[in-house]
């Protein structure tokens, strides 16, 4: 089963390597990873999707908690959270008909066209992983030149937040 | 500031400013080892035998990488240690500069935490944090990497009183309702057993353990790391459990209806086949590290807490139990299946350990290398005090014992410190003979010399049709001449009657001593559980 783990970490050198290293040396595969700044200065948030049973998840969380740079670790309940990925897809355009077909697809998927070239399009799509997968699948018939995807980012629904412990707030 | 009395280290280019400052230092002694690995192990031995933080120092690049085995050893056995390394100047970091190694990257998996200090203004609080992290909670090694330009920068010294580590989660006493649940299970149990691990020594919870054991009449087995936390001459002691544990300890684990595990990680060397480990038992597990609970075995009553505080609380609510039937069964196993050498008529490891016990009235601190010598040292000496058996359990680092014994001896100048060695592992850090001789660290090295890498040979005998690939130690030096070359005192012992006088002489000699004991080449460590087998399934049990 796939789990989504959110980790608040200090912005210090080597933190990403320490977290990623923990996953690899304990034998857990990272399916996707996204990192960025948070609402608090000096604190970044990593969202990691990992495959494993409940016991493995428990162990991952405990091991992450032992890292001094990891301030808060939470796993996000898939039924009570929203998660999104973003992909940029460069597609080859062979004919006006192709272009029209693709634009229709972009409309249906509520994606965006970021760049139109003589023989190419760059499409941006945001959504759940299966939606991004479906879009890529459909576009592949036209000839995909390049795909870049972010890792998944996730927030819990409602007022629930992954927040810093009180003592971390100045 | 941290009351460090001794550093074990080795200078080099980038750490020179540090050593230059040390030149005028009166309160901190520096012991120059002959290899950085020796420095790390010596700091480790100092730490294990005292509970204080051991400190080792090395230069950048190869100096730092030579510490790695020592840091990993300390990490696996939760030893409080601070390693200080020089680093190339900040502007050269990342350029593959001379003697540059990414030591914080290399040691990330084997330290509790590490630091690269790029600004001299961060140095004081980093040192404070490092010592705090190393000694608190589940202890472990912390590395501080300091570039040379930071070492020569100036700043106003201010050592902070408090530190702020928001990501450092600490636990104290176990949860009261879990403790009462444990007490209920203990009252209900007919055949309880305790496994006490290395965490017991770290937590200094031995008195609390004894109170629990005597109140509830529960027999105690220790892991290798737990040896000494419960007196082995006590009627309720089962000795060591696991791959080379006593038969009665392993049988007790297989029969027990309640296993109480205190400060142990359930190493594969303890559990054998997990599916058949304590098959009839409920398991109570008390540990300071939540990640150990449920990691290797299922647990019915998990308690996260400091062992001393948690056992104190448990002792308040425990009811005296009646386990007399169970203790009778165990006594009969003890009678039937004692530990014994397979070569009783020749000079053997059992004679050696028993003679050391007798010669020192059981007051020695035994340090070991790794392999057969380590297991025999664990089996045949009767340990009665915590921190009296110092060994590399988790990583199993050959070459650990001798340099570690120097740190032990530094901390305990009045104790008889023995390094129990094999003819293989003593040669892994034998250069430290110079350190011992020069610094008057008069430890006693006892080599159980069988001319083989004995433990590997034993496995080859049992599992590889006696194909002794690369295990005969051809070309061993004359160890007696060798120690004499360093200014120490040596003796060779080939017969039983020579043994006791040689040990007596060694402990009465104010110099580093080496006793080269020639033992039967094919003496094995028994009992033995094959790797991955159930621990009741042992070779070499019974007469």
Per-residue 3-state assignment (H helix, E strand, C coil) for B385-447: CCCCEECCCCCCCCCCHHHHHHHHHHHCCCCCEEEEEECCHHHHCHHHHHHHHHCCCCCEEEE
Cβ of A59 within 8 Å of Cβ of B294? The answer is: yes
Question: Which pLDDT tens digits describe chain B residue by residue (543 residues)?
Answer: 899 999 999 999 999 999 999 999 999 999 999 999 999 999 999 999 999 999 999 999 999 999 999 999 999 999 999 999 999 999 999 999 999 999 999 999 999 999 999 999 999 999 999 999 999 999 999 999 999 999 999 999 999 999 889 889 888 889 999 999 999 999 999 999 999 999 999 999 999 999 999 999 999 999 999 999 999 999 999 999 999 999 999 999 999 999 999 999 999 999 999 999 999 999 999 999 999 999 999 999 999 999 999 999 999 999 887 899 999 999 999 999 999 888 899 999 999 999 999 999 999 999 999 999 999 999 999 999 999 999 999 999 999 999 999 999 999 999 999 999 999 999 999 999 999 999 999 999 999 999 999 999 999 999 999 999 999 999 999 999 999 999 999 999 999 999 999 999 999 999 999 999 999 999 999 999 999 999 999 999 964
Residue given tokens 């162990």 in the structure block:
A59
CB neighbour burial string for B334-353, b if at least 16 within 10 angstroms, e if fewer: beebebbbebeeebbbbbbb
Q: CA–CA separation, B329 vs B499, rounded Å?
A: 37
Q: What is the number of other CB atoms lying within 10 angstroms of the CB of residue B69?
A: 22
Q: Give the one of B109, B164, B291 whose C-beta lies nearest to A66's C-beta.
A: B291
Asked if residue A169 has pLDDT above 60, the reply is no
In this complex, is the C-beta atom of A55 within 8 Å of any C-beta atom belonging to chain B? yes
Q: Do the beta carbons of residue B531 and residue B273 sit within 8 Å?
A: no
Spatial separation of the C-alpha atoms in residues B428 and B402, rounded to whole Å: 9
Could you tell me the domains of chain A? Answer: 2-81 (3.30.70.260), 83-153 (3.30.70.1150)
B112/A68 Cβ within 8 A: yes
Number of alpha helices (DSSP H) and beta strands (DSSP E) in chain B: 21, 20
Residue with tokens 């919870």: B205
Which run of H or E residues covers position B455? helix B454-463
Give the nearest partner residue to B290 out of A9, A21, A62, using CB atoms: A62
The active-site residue out of B36, B100, B255, B313 is B36
Domains of chain B: 6-152 (3.40.50.970), 176-336 (3.40.50.1220), 349-527 (3.40.50.970)
Q: Show residues of chain A in contact with B289, CB under 8 Å.
A: 66
Q: Which residues of A touch B164 (CB under 8 A)?
A: 167
**Is residue A170's pLDDT more than 60?**
no
Q: By the CB < 8 Å criterion, does A62 face chain B?
A: yes
Rounded to whole angstroms, the Cα distance separating B244 from B262 reads 20
B214 is catalytic: no
pLDDT at B171 (0 to 100)? 82
Strand A43-51 to A2-10 pairing: antiparallel
d(CA B45, CA B319): 39
pLDDT score, position B62: 98
pLDDT at B342: 86
**Could you give the CA distance from residue B401 to residue B367 in angstroms, rounded to a whole number?**
6
How many other C-beta atoms are found inside a 10 Å radius of the C-beta of residue B160? 12
Strands B258-262 and B192-196: parallel
For Cα atoms B16, B22, B25, give the angle at the middle one, nearest 5 degrees. 165
User: With an 8 Å Cβ cutoff, is A12 touching chain B?
Assistant: no
Task: Give me the interface pTM, i.e. the ipTM.
Answer: 0.91
Q: Which of B166, B294, B295 sits opposite A71 (nearest CB)?
A: B166
The pLDDT tens digits for A14-65 are 899 999 999 998 888 899 999 999 999 999 999 999 998 888 899 999 999 9
Residues of A whose CB is below 8 A from B298: none
Nearest to B373 by CA among B419, B341, B310: B419
Q: How far is B114 from chain A (nearest CA, A)?
A: 9
Task: Give buried/exposed letters for B72-81 (b at 16+ CB in 10 A, else e).
Answer: bbbbbbbbbb
């Amino acid at each position: 089963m796939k789990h989504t783990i959110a980790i608040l970490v200090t912005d210090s050198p080597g933190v990403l390597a320490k977290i990623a290293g923990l996953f690899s040396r304990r034998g857990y595969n990272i399916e996707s990873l996204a990192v960025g700044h948070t609402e608090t200065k000096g604190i970044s948030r990593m969202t990691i999707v990992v495959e494993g049973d409940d016991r493995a998840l428990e162990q991952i969380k405990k091991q992450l908690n032992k890292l001094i740079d990891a301030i808060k670790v939470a796993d996000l309940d898939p039924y009570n959270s929203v998660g999104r990925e973003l992909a940029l897809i460069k597609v080859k355009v062979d004919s006006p008909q192709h272009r029209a077909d693709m634009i229709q697809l972009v409309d249906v998927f509520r994606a965006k066209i970021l760049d139109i070239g003589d023989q190419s399009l760059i499409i941006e799509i945001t959504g759940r992983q299966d939606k991004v997968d479906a879009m890529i699948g459909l576009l592949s018939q036209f000839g995909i030149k390049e795909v870049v995807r972010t890792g998944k980012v996730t927030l819990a629904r409602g007022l629930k937040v992954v927040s810093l412990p009180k003592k971390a707030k100045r | 500031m941290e009351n460090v009395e001794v550093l074990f280290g080795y200078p080099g280019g980038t750490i020179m400013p540090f050593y230059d400052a040390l030149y005028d230092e009166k309160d901190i002694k520096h012991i120059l080892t002959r290899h950085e690995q020796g420095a790390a192990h010596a700091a480790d031995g100092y730490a294990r035998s005292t509970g204080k933080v051991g400190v080792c120092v090395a230069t950048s690049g190869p100096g730092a990488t030579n510490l790695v085995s020592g840091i990993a050893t300390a990490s696996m056995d939760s030893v409080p240690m601070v390693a200080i390394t020089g680093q190339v100047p900040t502007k050269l970091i990342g350029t593959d500069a001379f003697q540059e190694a990414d030591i914080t990257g290399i040691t990330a998996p084997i330290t509790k935490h590490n630091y690269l200090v790029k600004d001299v203004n961060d140095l004081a609080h980093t040192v404070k944090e490092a010592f705090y992290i190393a000694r608190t909670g589940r202890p472990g090694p912390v590395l501080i990497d300091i570039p040379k330009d930071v070492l020569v920068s100036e700043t106003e010294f201010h050592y902070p009183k408090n530190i702020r580590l928001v990501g450092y989660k600490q636990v104290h006493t176990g949860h009261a309702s879990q403790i009462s649940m444990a007490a209920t299970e203990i009252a209900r149990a007919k055949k309880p057993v305790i496994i006490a691990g290395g965490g017991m020594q770290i937590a200094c919870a031995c008195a609390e353990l004894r109170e629990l054991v005597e109140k509830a009449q529960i027999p105690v087995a220790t892991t290798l790391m737990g040896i000494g936390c419960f007196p082995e001459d006590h009627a309720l002691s089962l000795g060591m459990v696991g791959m080379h544990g006593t038969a009665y300890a392993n049988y007790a684990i297989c029969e027990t209806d309640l296993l109480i595990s205190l400060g142990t990680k359930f190493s594969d060397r303890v559990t054998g086949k997990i599916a058949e480990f304590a098959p009839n038992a409920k398991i109570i597990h008390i540990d300071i590290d939540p990640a150990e609970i449920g990691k290797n075995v299922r647990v019915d009553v998990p308690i996260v807490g400091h062992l001393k505080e948690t056992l104190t609380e448990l002792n308040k609510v425990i009811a005296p139990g009646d386990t007399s039937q169970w203790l009778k069964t165990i006594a009969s196993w003890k009678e039937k299946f004692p530990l014994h050498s397979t070569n009783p008529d020749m000079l053997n490891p059992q004679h050696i350990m028993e003679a050391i016990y007798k010669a020192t009235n059981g007051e020695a601190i035994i340090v070991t290398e790794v392999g057969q010598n380590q297991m025999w040292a664990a089996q045949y000496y009767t340990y009665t005090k915590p921190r009296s058996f110092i060994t590399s359990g988790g990583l199993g680092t050959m070459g650990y014992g001798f340099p570690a014994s120097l740190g032990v001896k530094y901390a305990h100048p009045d104790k008889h410190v023995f390094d129990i060695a094999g003819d293989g592992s003593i040669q892994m850090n034998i250069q430290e003979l110079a350190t011992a001789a020069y610094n008057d660290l008069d430890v006693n090295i006892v080599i159980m010399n069988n001319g083989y890498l004995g433990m590997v040979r034993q496995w080859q005998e049992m599992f590889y049709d006696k194909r002794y690939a690369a295990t005969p130690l051809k070309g061993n030096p004359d160890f007696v001449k060798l120690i004499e070359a360093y200014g120490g005192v040596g003796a060779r012992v080939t017969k039983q009657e020579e043994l006791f006088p040689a040990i007596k002489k060694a402990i009465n000699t104010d110099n580093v001593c080496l006793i080269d004991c020639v033992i039967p080449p094919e003496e094995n460590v028994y009992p033995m559980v094959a790797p991955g087998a159930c621990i009741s399934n042992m070779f070499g049990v019974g007469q």
